[in-house]
């Protein structure tokens, strides 16, 4: 057995009070280091061993300081390539695996040479890690890295549109007063209203005036993705859960929105299976990633929206009654634009300012044009008004735009010349509109090669809405699984 040298590392370092303090700080640093540390001299004798080394080998410090690295190899571990000995022999850095004799645990060790002023080998510090503990730590690092990546991804995609709502009509002013009241509590809300009427803006308005305003607002369109993909987005998944999925897994939107607000648009399009999982989140405040057994607490406020009658869907067994009653705590009915004509002029002025700034224009709309806009029924609501104002401003070459621009461009319809639809005179309004809409949808789908998803995007409709319109008008969708018309298939008829 090699006797403990009279001059050891502590003696070398702690020769003065200042050095003693520095040595004590280094000891604290070493003892809190993940893994274990030891230092030998140029003959392999232990000069310093950390508490982690003592625990790893199952030997007390005083005993180890009487030994050399060669003694530990004989009595405590078997090394296929002992890093400390290799560094002593080669005077180079060495990384090796050890198998501890007593426990059979695998240990990863890294040894590095330290040379004195004369260029001779003086010390060999060695850092060791239990492989199982190291892999566990690395998995945690990987998970945190994945979370950071997903946070960046979601923050880049999070809608940051201001929550301003322009309202001058009595109906909207009263509705905003009620929304202020709703924002002060944390209950679930259902927003009812036609497509394009501004339901998401109301959801943002409520969030921005709530106690969660400094947290995230995450919109989820329940009709935009197939149920399986929507489930992945909502709940996330662990690595290896899906073939072709992210190798690092993915954090779900509910998990990401913790302490914030989730806006579930078109909630009526959600599958019954997903409705059951959503109900569990509301009831327990817990979410679990797909492929994982780990339960994550999830504190979110849920605001849902739909243009369908959920009560009728419950009666038809198309929507879960228990989820409906959980969601239907507070309700807001957003009126269509045709029922709040007083808002058309201020909305139009706002859109003019918006597009003047966006495109560098200095254009203005004549009062006669504003009056013409107020007389239109706006089936596409605020979204249609916005698009119409943008279209007129972009297509007009004049700085002053009069009512003729609106008469020349049917609102909400950029119909190709080949799709002109002569509507018979003196037909009832709804019948005439159905004829026009049928021709318009047929022409739009045909121009997209039968791709319903592409056509819905061009028309700024949700795919499910387009399907319902086609069915209502008796138009036959293309017979393909990918919403695309295949070779030899007939167009809509």
User: How confident is the model over 174-190, as pLDDT tens digits?
Assistant: 999 999 999 999 999 99
Fold match, 158-335 / 339-408 = no
114 or 155: which carries more pLDDT confidence? 114
Residue 486: pLDDT band by 50, 70, 90 thresholds?
Answer: very low
Q: Which residues on neighbouring strands pair with residue 175, listed in sequence order? A: none
Per-residue pLDDT for 122 more than 50? yes
Q: State the DSSP string of 280-316.
A: HHHHH-EEE-BT---EEE---EEEEEESS-HHHHHHT
The phi, psi pair for 366, rounded to 5°, reads -70, 150
Q: What share of the chain is helix, strand, coil (3-state, %, to 5)?
A: 45, 15, 40
Q: What is the pLDDT of residues 286-305, one digit of tens each?
A: 999 888 888 888 999 999 99
Output the pLDDT for position 467: 82
Note the CATH number of domain 339-408: 1.10.8.60
Residues 6+ apart with CB under 8 A from 243: none
489 and 450 in contact (C-beta within 8 Å)? yes
153 or 21: which carries more pLDDT confidence? 21
CA distance 418 to 67: 95
Residue 493: pLDDT band by 50, 70, 90 thresholds?
Answer: very low
Output the pLDDT for position 488: 35
Report how far apart the first and last C-alpha atoms of the chain are (Å, whole number): 96
335 or 437: which carries more pLDDT confidence? 335
CA distance 141 to 116: 36
Q: What is the pLDDT of residues 190-213, one digit of tens each?
A: 999 999 999 999 999 999 999 999
Residue 249: pLDDT band by 50, 70, 90 thresholds?
Answer: confident
Q: State the DSSP string of 352-372.
A: HHHHHHHHT---EE-HHHHHH
Per-residue pLDDT for 322 more than 60? yes
Measured CA to CA in angstroms, residue 298 lies from 82, 248, 264, 282, 320 at distances of: 48, 21, 16, 9, 22
Query: Which run of H or of E encompasses 135?
Result: helix 131-157
Output the pLDDT for position 331: 96
In this prediction, what percent of the chain has a pLDDT beyond 70? 78
Note the CATH number of domain 9-135: 3.30.450.20
DSSP single-letter state for residue 266: T
94 or 164: which carries more pLDDT confidence? 94
378 or 415: which carries more pLDDT confidence? 378
| Overall average pLDDT of the 242-254 stretch | 69
CATH 3.40.50.620 fits 158-335, yes or no: no
User: Can you give the C-alpha Rg of the chain in angstroms?
Assistant: 35
**301-306 and 261-265 beta bridge pairing:** parallel
Output the pLDDT for position 339: 94
Per-residue pLDDT for 272 more than 60? yes
CA distance 260 to 213: 8
The phi, psi pair for 111, rounded to 5°, reads -115, 140
SS3 111: strand
Output the pLDDT for position 144: 63
Q: What is the pLDDT of residues 222-241, one digit of tens each?
A: 998 888 889 988 998 887 66
Residue of 226, 195, 210, 103 lying closest to 163 (CA atoms): 210
pTM equals: 0.56
Residues 6+ apart with CB under 8 A from 241: 249, 289, 290, 291, 292
| Overall average pLDDT of the 410-420 stretch | 40
Residue 2: pLDDT band by 50, 70, 90 thresholds?
Answer: very low
Residue of 492, 436, 431, 432 lying closest to 467 (CA atoms): 492
Output the pLDDT for position 415: 34
Domain ranges of the chain: 9-135, 158-335, 339-408, 413-493
CA angle 189/194/197 to nearest 5° reads 80
Per-residue pLDDT for 159 more than 60? no
Distance from the Cα of residue 93 to its chain's centroid: 44
Per-residue pLDDT for 432 more than 90? no
Tokens of 455: 């056509």
120 or 407: which carries more pLDDT confidence? 120
Query: Which run of H or of E encompasses 400?
Result: strand 400-401
346 and 306 in contact (C-beta within 8 Å)? no
Query: Which run of H or of E encompasses 24?
Result: helix 17-31
What is the average pLDDT value for the chain, to the nearest integer? 80
Residue 481: pLDDT band by 50, 70, 90 thresholds?
Answer: very low
Output the pLDDT for position 429: 67
| Overall average pLDDT of the 20-41 stretch | 79
35 or 386: which carries more pLDDT confidence? 386
């Amino acid at each position: 057995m090699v006797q403990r040298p009279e001059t050891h590392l502590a003696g070398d370092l702690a020769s003065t009070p200042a050095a003693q303090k520095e040595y004590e700080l280094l000891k604290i640093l070493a003892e809190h280091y993940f893994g274990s540390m030891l230092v030998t001299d140029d003959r392999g004798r232990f000069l310093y061993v950390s508490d982690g080394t003592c625990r790893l080998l199952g030997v007390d410090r005083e005993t180890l300081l009487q030994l050399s690295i060669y003694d530990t190899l004989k009595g405590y571990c078997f090394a296929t390539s002992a890093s400390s000995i290799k560094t002593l022999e080669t005077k180079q850095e060495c990384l090796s695996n050890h198998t501890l004799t007593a426990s059979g645990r695998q240990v990863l060790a890294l040894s590095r040479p330290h040379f004195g002023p004369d260029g001779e080998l003086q010390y060999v510090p060695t850092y060791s890690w239990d492989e199982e503990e190291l892999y566990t730590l690395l998995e945690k690092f990987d998970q945190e890295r994945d979370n950071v990546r997903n946070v960046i991804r979601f923050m880049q995609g999070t809608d940051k549109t201001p929550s301003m709502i322009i309202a001058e009509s009595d109906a909207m002013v009263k509705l905003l007063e009620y929304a202020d009241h709703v924002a002060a509590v944390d209950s679930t809300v259902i927003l009812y209203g036609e497509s394009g009427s501004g339901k998401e803006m109301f959801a943002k308005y409520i969030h921005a005036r709530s106690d969660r305003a400094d947290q995230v607002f995450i919109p989820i369109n329940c009709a935009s993705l197939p149920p399986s993909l929507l489930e992945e987005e909502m709940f996330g998944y662990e690595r290896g859960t899906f073939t072709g999925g992210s190798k690092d897994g993915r954090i779900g939107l509910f998990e990401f929105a913790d302490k914030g607000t989730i806006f579930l648009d078109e909630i009526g399009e959600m599958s019954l299976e997903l409705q059951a999982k959503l109900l569990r989140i509301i009831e327990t405040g817990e979410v679990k990633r797909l492929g994982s057994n780990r339960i994550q607490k999830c504190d979110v406020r849920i605001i849902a929206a739909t243009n369908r009658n959920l009560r009728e869907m419950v009666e038809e067994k198309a929507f879960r009654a228990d989820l409906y009653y959980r969601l239907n705590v507070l309700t807001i009915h957003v009126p269509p634009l045709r029922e709040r004509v007083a808002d058309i002029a201020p909305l139009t002025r706002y859109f003019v300012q918006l597009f003047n700034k966006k495109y560098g224009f200095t254009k203005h709309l004549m009062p006669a044009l504003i009056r013409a806009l107020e007389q239109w029924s706006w089936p596409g609501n605020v979204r249609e008004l916005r698009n119409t104002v943008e279209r007129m401003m972009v297509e007009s070459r004049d700085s002053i735009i009069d009512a003729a621009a609106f008469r020349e461009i049917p609102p909400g319809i950029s119909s190709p010349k080949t799709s002109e639809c002569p509507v018979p005179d003196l037909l009832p309004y709804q019948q005439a509109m159905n004829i026009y809409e049928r021709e318009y949808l047929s022409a739009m789908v045909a121009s997209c090669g039968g791709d319903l998803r592409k056509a819905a995007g061009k028309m700024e409709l949700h795919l499910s809405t387009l399907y319902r319109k086609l069915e209502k008008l008796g138009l036959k969708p293309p017979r393909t699984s990918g919403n695309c018309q295949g070779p030899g298939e007939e167009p809509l008829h």
